[in-house]
């Protein structure tokens, strides 16, 4: 069935490239969050395409506009065989014509398989996971709020600001390998900004405030992308993907926090329910 559904991605002036749906969800993007297809033209946006029998689900996180039939897309799905456009990138939602003329016998087999799946999920139900509870696990206030600078005198505050900024830069370089370093970098840049203010260096304080804000937006964007993927996995009753996205969310949390322990317990419960 994986070959029956695919997308065609065509950049301006280039040939169309085909990407099959291996799972029910196909992610396009260019940020730090895991994606199936890298599309630099999307910038910081992340496009999640969902395979269903009737249409291709479309969900975008970011500021990029999706256009469909010349207008901004307002629905959350497009029919198979149609196209959407994002900043000059054409994305076609494709389904094999043969799939639309299935024999009655195959339809009966699919119906039987669907009933079996419904029974399986009724017996081994995935615990409720919503975007709201995911956000409660990963509080932006807890992740990004920095303590004010604690120093006395201009020289001491200036030195402390340099130390915080240096450590923040080091953490930011490791963000691709450990999401916790992204939120740590944000807090360190914010503390450096506080120290610069106490030292009376308003120019450096503004620069560091902007740097902290940029990092907070970047980490929060990646965090919400995982929450969106978690919500879709729950909606589509995909326990393996729910586990993967919960684990990804857990990597944003301090290791010794109560929220991190809640995520680990939820993952253990889900894994114990899988065959």
pLDDT at 127: 44
The architecture in CATH of the region 2-100 reads Sandwich (2.60)
**Range with the poorest average pLDDT among 35-39, 50-54, 111-115:** 111-115
pLDDT tens sequence across 203-231: 999 999 999 999 989 888 888 888 888 88
**Parallel, antiparallel, or unpaired: how do β-strands 37-38 and 25-29 relate?**
parallel
- Nearest Cα neighbor of 167 from 144, 188, 194 is 188
Instruction: Give residue 195's pLDDT band: very low, low, confident or very high (50, 70, 90).
Output: very high
Give the 3-state secondary structure of residue 149: coil
% of the chain with per-residue pLDDT over 90: 17
Domain segments of the chain as ranges:
2-100, 131-273
- Nearest Cα neighbor of 149 from 137, 165, 136, 135 is 165
Mean pLDDT across 125-151: 62
Produce one character per residue of 179-218: b if its CB has 16 or more CB atoms within 10 Å, e if not: bbbbbbbbbbbbbbbbbbbbbebeebbebbbebbeebbeb
For residue 122, give Cα distances in angstroms to 68, 117, 232, 237, 239: 37, 8, 19, 11, 13
Look up the pTM and report it: 0.49
Instruction: Give residue 132's pLDDT band: very low, low, confident or very high (50, 70, 90).
Output: very low
Cβ–Cβ < 8 Å for 194, 149: yes
Helix (H) or strand (E) holding 159: helix 154-173
pLDDT tens sequence across 77-100: 888 889 888 877 889 888 876 444
Name the β-bridge partners of 71: 68
């Amino acid at each position: 069935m994986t070959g029956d559904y695919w997308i065609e991605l065509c950049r301006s002036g280039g040939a169309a490239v085909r990407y099959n749906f291996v799972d029910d969800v196909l992610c396009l993007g260019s940020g730090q969050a895991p994606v199936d297809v890298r599309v630099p033209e999307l910038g910081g946006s992340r496009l999640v395409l969902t395979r269903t029998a009737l249409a291709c689900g479309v969900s975008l996180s970011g500021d990029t506009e999706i256009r469909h039939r010349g207008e901004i897309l307002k629905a959350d799905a497009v029919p198979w065989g149609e196209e959407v456009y994002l900043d000059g990138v054409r994305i076609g939602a494709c389904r094999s014509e043969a799939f639309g003329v299935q024999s009655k016998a195959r339809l009966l087999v699919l119906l039987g398989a669907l009933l079996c799946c419904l029974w399986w999920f009724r017996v081994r139900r995935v615990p409720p996971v919503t975007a709201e509870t995911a956000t409660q696990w990963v509080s932006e206030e807890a992740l990004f709020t920095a303590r004010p600078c604690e120093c006395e005198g201009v020289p001491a505050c200036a030195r402390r600001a340099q130390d915080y900024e240096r450590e923040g830069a080091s953490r930011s370089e490791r963000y691709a390998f450990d999401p916790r370093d992204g939120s740590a970098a944000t807090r360190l840049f914010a503390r450096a900004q506080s120290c610069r203010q106490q030292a009376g260096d308003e120019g450096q304080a503004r620069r560091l405030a902007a740097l902290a804000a940029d990092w907070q937006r970047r980490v929060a964007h990646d965090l919400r992308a995982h929450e969106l993927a978690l919500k879709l996995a729950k909606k589509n009753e995909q326990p393996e993907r729910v586990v993967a996205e919960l684990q990804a969310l857990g990597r944003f949390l301090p290791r010794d926090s109560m929220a991190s322990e809640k995520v680990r317990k939820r993952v253990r419960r889900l894994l114990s329910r899988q065959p």
